[in-house]
Structure 1
Amino acid sequence: MIDIHCHILPGIDDGARTTEDSLEMARAAVDQGIRTIIATPHHRNGKYNNVKKQILQDVTELKARLEVEKIPLTILPGQETRLNGDMVTSLQEDEVLPLNNTAYVFIEFPTAHVPRYAKQMLFDLQVAGYKPIIVHPERNREIAEHPSILYEFVRKGALTQVTAASVCGKFGKTVQKLTHNLMEANLTHFIASDAHNTTTRGFAMQEAFREVQTRHGNEAVFMFMENAQLLIDGNTVHRGEPQPVRTKKLFGLF
């Protein structure tokens, strides 16, 4: 199993605080059946700035420690970057780090809204040769209220990644329902842990894939798993024809 979104690098964001925390997360990942993780520390989210050069160094150091500890886990470099108007320039100037040095780039929106310039920036990234992946859209308040926003982004080429804990209902039933609605509408393409620790924000990948199998069948499980492999290899991922999300409001909830 491959986890393309994880805050396992120590001491650089709100994920693992120490190397020992990173090792604890690594062992937990292996117990989940995860063999490869893309380390994706936050960048330009208003609190943390982790540029490409530093991330590559931290990945190298953690990989060396994993070898010493004989933990069978491969760590690859990545970054979770808050959407900003300088993204194309930052990528071209080697500040922003695509996932495993491919064309795939994580895009994070603020929790409460989608920036007005998001449509143009997602377009500009694709024109520049990148493949933007919107992370955890199911946890964005504006998208939850208006899923048509995400439909338009995906229809015009963006990809998305939902969180394993959302699939399982760990962020609540409303988020869980939206997550599965996005799957049914072909509006998401990856499942990843977004793990920050082994307690409050763990991996939950096995549980998530069991839930996907129950609700959507084996074909969906294989698609999500294969897309993670295709991503780290830099190949084109599977994507179904996007459909609008049809939801019924009940007391303000989806």
Structure 2
Amino acid sequence: MIDIHCHILPDVDDGAPDMETSLRLAKEAEKQGITAALLTPHHMDGQYINHLKDVEKETIEFQKQIDEHGINLKVFPGQEVHITGDLLKEIDDGDILFADPYNRYIMLELPHTEVPEYTEDMLFELNARGITPVIVHPERNHGFQNDHDLLYKFVAQGAATQLTASSYVGVFGPEVEKLTEEIIAANLGTTFGSDTHNFKGRRYRMKDAYAKLEKQFGVKMATRYKFNAKAIINGDDIDQGEIKPIKKKKKKKFLGLF
């Protein structure tokens, strides 16, 4: 199993505060059956800046510690890149870490409270450069919660999505759990990520999520999600399936927990 979204790199953002915690989280990942993880510290979100070279350096040191402690986990440097008007410039300047060696996939975070008006144009520009944006935790974004058609539009435009394992098993409440199920049913979900930050609410639930996915949607869907995680980290083509809009319902204001 591969985790393409986690905050277990020590002391770089709001995730693991120190190496001791990071190693405990790495051990927990191993227990979950995760063999590889893309480290995705926040970048350009208004609070944290994690430059490419710094993340690469810290990842090498973390892997060294993982190996010395006998933990079976391979980690790769990445970023959870916040969407901004400067994103294309940051890519041109070489300060963006992609999810794969071929610069095909970028882990893209939108503000929790909205989908910015320029998002569609930005996704178009990324796609024109051969870059597939992987929209992280769309089920927890208020804009998508209140307008499901936006997510369908972006996936139809070529975006991929990373659903949070914890969302699917109810950690963020029943409304977010239900929306995650609807996203999966409409084939608008591409794969899971843990978005692990700590040992409390933001912890590993990958094993639980895949067990539920297999039970609710079948082995084929679970296999596809695992395949897609591997495809993203390797820079290969993903299998999105046949997408469809989520059935329209009366709009309801989501609150969610973050």
When normalised by structure 1's length, the TM-score is: 0.97
Conserved? CA contact 2:101–2:234, under 8 Å: no
Q: Distance in 1 between matches of 2:42 and 2:231?
A: 23
- Aligned ranges 1:1-254 → 2 under 5 Å: 1-102=1-102, 103-249=104-250
Offset, 1:200: 2.3
| SS state at 1:11 partner | coil
Question: Partner letter of residue 7 of structure 1?
Answer: H
* RMSD of aligned Cα (Å): 1.4
Offset, 1:9: 0.5
Structure 1: stretches of 5+ with no match in the other structure: none
Offset, 1:210: 0.9
Conserved? CA contact 1:181–1:245, under 8 Å: yes
Offset, 1:100: 3.3
Q: Distance in 1 between matches of 2:152 and 2:142?
A: 15
Q: Distance in 2 between matches of 1:96 and 1:65?
A: 25
| SS state at 2:117 partner | coil
Q: Distance in 2 between matches of 1:32 and 1:227?
A: 18
Question: Partner letter of residue 64 of structure 1?
Answer: K
| Higher deviation after alignment, 193-202 or 159-168 | 193-202
Q: Distance in 2 between matches of 1:48 and 1:10?
A: 14
What are the Cα deviations for residues 116-167 of structure 1, in whole angstroms up to 9, with x where unaligned?
0000000101111211010000000111011001110011111111000011
- After superposition, the Cα gap between the structure-2 partners of 1:141 and 1:250, relative to the gap in structure 1 and judged at 3 Å, is closer
Q: Distance in 2 between matches of 1:241 and 1:53?
A: 38
Offset, 1:241: 2.2
Conserved? CA contact 1:6–1:41, under 8 Å: yes
Offset, 1:68: 1.0
| SS state at 2:67 partner | helix
| SS state at 2:232 partner | helix
Structure 2: stretches of 5+ with no match in the other structure: none
Offset, 1:252: 5.5
- After superposition, the Cα gap between the structure-2 partners of 1:154 and 1:20, relative to the gap in structure 1 and judged at 3 Å, is same
| Higher deviation after alignment, 45-54 or 90-99 | 90-99
What are the Cα deviations for residues 28-79 of structure 1, in whole angstroms up to 9, with x where unaligned?
1011111101000000111000011110001000001111111111001110
Q: Distance in 1 between matches of 2:234 and 2:136?
A: 19
Question: Partner letter of residue 12 of structure 1?
Answer: V
Q: Distance in 2 between matches of 1:176 and 1:37?
A: 24
Conserved? CA contact 1:38–1:100, under 8 Å: no
Conserved? CA contact 1:77–1:100, under 8 Å: no
Question: Partner letter of residue 70 of structure 1?
Answer: G
